[in-house]
């Protein structure tokens, strides 16, 4: 059960990481926050106003590769962020399936395991 909980936590946190985007140095003047580079989450901050619906806001940078150049440093951080969290999503989904099978196997073994000698 603990493995299932850990896999579910990894799955949720990876989804949040994909939705929010990477922490990077970006030009704050593009988002109307000043005229200097700033460390932050540009994809989260650019979509922060509550005027947009959640489905339109969540992970919108994933579909628009043109916005990836917003991050100035570190180089390639957006593609790294997407690759890392996508891989973690897949691995945690597989881990949840395997943990569920293990739990089911343990329950069936407990219920039917004593019938072998009869």
Burial of residue 39, with CB atoms counted within 10 A of its CB: 0-12 exposed, 13-18 middle, 19 or more buried: exposed
Supply the pTM of this predicted model: 0.72
Task: Report pLDDT digits (tens) over 40-91.
Answer: 888 775 545 544 444 445 557 787 888 888 888 888 899 999 999 999 999 9
Which residues, 6+ apart, have CB-to-CB distance to 47 below 8 Å? 57, 60
Domain boundaries, the chain: 2-115
**Does 118 score more than 60 pLDDT?**
no
* DSSP character string of 12-55: HHHHHHHHH---EEEEGGGGTS-SSEEEE-HHHHHT-STTS-HH
């Amino acid at each position: 059960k603990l493995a299932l909980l850990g896999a579910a936590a990894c799955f949720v946190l990876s989804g949040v990481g994909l939705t929010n985007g990477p922490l990077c140095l970006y030009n704050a003047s593009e988002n109307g926050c000043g005229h200097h580079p700033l460390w932050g989450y540009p994809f989260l901050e650019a979509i922060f106003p509550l005027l947009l619906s959640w489905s339109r806001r969540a992970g919108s940078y994933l579909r628009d590769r043109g916005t990836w150049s917003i991050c100035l440093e570190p180089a390639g951080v957006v593609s790294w962020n997407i690759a890392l969290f996508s891989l973690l999503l897949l691995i945690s989904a597989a881990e949840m399936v395997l943990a569920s099978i293990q739990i089911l196997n343990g329950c069936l073994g407990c219920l039917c395991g004593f019938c072998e000698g009869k």
